[in-house]
Amino acid sequence: MKKNMHIETKVIHLGGDADPVTGSIMPAIHQTSTYVQKSPGKHQGYEYTRSHNPTRTRLEECLAGLENAKYCLTTASGMSCITLIIQSIPKGRKILCGDDVYGGTNRLLSKVFGDHYETNFIDTTDLKAVEKGLKEDRPYLLWLETPTNPMLKISDIKKISKLCKKYKALLVVDNTFMSPIFQRPMDLGADIVVHSLTKYINGHSDVVGGAMMMNSKKIYDELWFLQNSIGPSQSPFDSWLVLRGVKTLAIRMKAHEENAIKVAKFLSKHKSVEKVIYPGLKNHPHHSLAKKQMSGFGGMISFYIKGGLKESRKFLQKIKVFKLAESLGGVESLANHPAIMTHASVPLKMRKELGISDNLVRLSVGIENIEDILSDLDNAL
Ligand code: P1T
């Protein structure tokens, strides 16, 4: 029955049946490390919290349902989710990855796993480059962010998934920027969907977490084995906080988008702004694909301020409603300087090629009153 519900209802009810013992409408926080067994190996499905935990199970049921997937695993950060997926790649196999991904993802693939797996970074908006990479490298998986962080490039998930199937590569889509409210990659052919729960899904900047969703039992079993063996499982309390935060995901995403559209239009006309990048603007190079693939344009905007580092610094020191901080997707507005902050670990040459320059600023538009947001930006600019 729940499968047919609308997503606005699912975020509130999935994983949330009343407690059969007490009737408690909200899930309990099973803050326990272990579980009593009746006889060795005879238990109620829970042995040890690194392996399973009832509060985490509820979160995983909810998140799997939101992405239209059968299975979900949640971890202590987005990066630990990505780590587990990379750990599952057989040694010697290659990775194909979008060129514009979160700086931490680039760092993990280049500097942590670089000796074990060769990663080729390509522009995934170029389908010819994708097919060439798949054909030549025969990678184990293709890692896709769309929209990308921070340049907000949009790649065609459906077409890329067809190419991945042709060349027998797994398609992993990091859906952090859109959340399942605006984009559902499983429906477009992805094999694994990844989220930093730290962002929109939790939405309140008080949890670090990650999730991965999949339909294949084989992939789920492999990744659960690694999660249980390596140990970055999400904690019961943080699982509960995300279960609480996700209930408002649908209305939050709509509010983020409503404000972001107004901010993008405002910045586009501002004399101190050189260029605005927002998939909802008609001048975005992938606007029509964004319109087709996503049901909303999201709350992330990148823009070039007129000038250089001096002007960016001045702006970022002057903002008041926006806070200068890493991260995104919380109810409060945040501003970030990718070149010095979130993407500092991306090699300078690559940053230059992508356009991550000293006058690039990334905004995570919050859900405060739009007049306060716009006057803050106007004042700082
Ligand atoms: O921070 P963590 O929960 O470990 O998630 C990593 C991550 C994964 N994927 C994407 C698309 C991300 O943006 C992130 C984290 N990003 C930031 C902290 C940031 O400010 O961009």
Q: For 239-275, what is each residue's pLDDT tens digit?
A: 999 999 999 999 999 999 999 999 999 999 999 999 9
pLDDT at 20: 87
pLDDT at 3: 67
Same domain, 60 and 152: yes
Cα separation, 320 vs 356, whole angstroms: 24
CA of 78 to the centre of ligand 1 (A): 6
- Tell me the pairing of strands 323-324 and 334-336: parallel
Coil, helix or strand at residue 176: coil
279 CB within 6 A, ligand 1: no
CA of 47 to the centre of ligand 1 (A): 31
Same domain, 182 and 38: yes
| Residue with CA nearest ligand 1 atom 3 | 78
200, 230, 246 — which closes off a domain? 246
Question: At residue 111, does pLDDT exceed 70?
Answer: yes
pLDDT at 265: 98
For the segment 66-79, what is each residue's pLDDT rounded down to a tens digit? Answer: 999 999 999 999 99
Same domain, 195 and 258: no
What is the radius of gyration, based on Cα positions, of the chain?
21
For the segment 229-238, what is each residue's pLDDT rounded down to a tens digit? Answer: 999 999 999 9
Same domain, 158 and 283: no
| Region 30-59 average pLDDT | 97
246, 270, 295 — which closes off a domain? 246
Is residue 213 within 8 A of residue 186, CB to CB? The reply is yes
Q: Which amino acid is at 63?
A: L
Residues 6+ apart with CB under 8 A from 13: 2, 5
For the segment 135-161, what is each residue's pLDDT rounded down to a tens digit? Answer: 999 999 999 999 999 999 999 999 999
pLDDT at 2: 57
Is residue 182 within 8 A of residue 134, CB to CB? The reply is no
Catalytic residue among 35, 46, 48, 50: 50
Same domain, 216 and 285: no
Question: At residue 208, does pLDDT exceed 90?
Answer: yes
Coil, helix or strand at residue 172: strand
Same domain, 196 and 287: no
Of 108, 199, 206, 235, the one to substitute when testing ligand 1's pocket (max ligand atoms within 8 A of C-beta) is 199
Specify the number of domains making up the chain: 2
| Region 284-303 average pLDDT | 98
| Residue with CA nearest ligand 1 atom 20 | 327
Same domain, 214 and 231: yes
| Residue with CA nearest ligand 1 atom 10 | 102
CATH, residue 214: 3.40.640.10
Is residue 130 within 8 A of residue 160, CB to CB? The reply is yes
Same domain, 272 and 162: no
pLDDT at 4: 82
CATH, residue 369: 3.90.1150.10
Atom of ligand 1 nearest to the CA of 81: 4
Atom of ligand 1 nearest to the CA of 328: 20
Q: Which residues of 239-249 are buried (b: 16+ CB within 10 A; e: fewer)?
A: bbbbbbbbbbb
Same domain, 233 and 255: no
Residues 6+ apart with CB under 8 A from 223: 73, 84, 85, 88, 212, 214
What are 57's two structure tokens?
A: 């199970």
pLDDT at 1: 47
61: containing domain: 2-246
> Residue 96 belongs to what H/E stretch?
strand 95-98
Q: Note if 191 is an active site residue.
A: no
Q: Note if 102 is an active site residue.
A: yes
Q: What percent of the chain has pLDDT over 90?
A: 97
Got the DSSP string for 192-209?
EEEEETTTTTT-SS----
Cα separation, 299 vs 367, whole angstroms: 9
Same domain, 304 and 372: yes
Catalytic residue among 99, 100, 156, 174: 174
- Residue 311 has a CB neighbour count (10 Å cut-off) of 18
174 CB within 6 A, ligand 1: yes
Cα separation, 139 vs 124, whole angstroms: 14
Question: At residue 204, does pLDDT exceed 90?
Answer: yes
246, 277, 310 — which closes off a domain? 246
Same domain, 90 and 118: yes
CA of 90 to the centre of ligand 1 (A): 25
Question: At residue 292, does pLDDT exceed 90?
Answer: yes
Q: Which residues of 321-346 are buried (b: 16+ CB within 10 A; e: fewer)?
A: bbbbeebbbbbebbbbbbbebbbeeb
78 CB within 6 A, ligand 1: yes
Got the DSSP string for 294-352?
-SS--SEEEEEESS-HHHHHHHHHH-SSSEE-S---SSS-EEE-TTTTTTTTS-HHHHH
CA 69 to chain centre: 16
Same domain, 218 and 267: no
pLDDT mean across residues, the chain? 97
- Residue 223 has a CB neighbour count (10 Å cut-off) of 22
End-to-end CA distance of the chain: 51
For the segment 8-19, what is each residue's pLDDT rounded down to a tens digit? Answer: 999 999 988 888
Got the DSSP string for 18-85?
PPTTT--SSPP----SB---SBTTBSSS-SBTTT--HHHHHHHHHHHHHTT-SEEEEESSHHHHHHHH
DSSP 120: E
pLDDT at 264: 98
104 CB within 6 A, ligand 1: yes
Question: At residue 356, does pLDDT exceed 80?
Answer: yes
Cα separation, 235 vs 118, whole angstroms: 32
Residue identified by tokens 């716009």 is 374
| Region 85-113 average pLDDT | 97
Q: Note if 174 is an active site residue.
A: yes
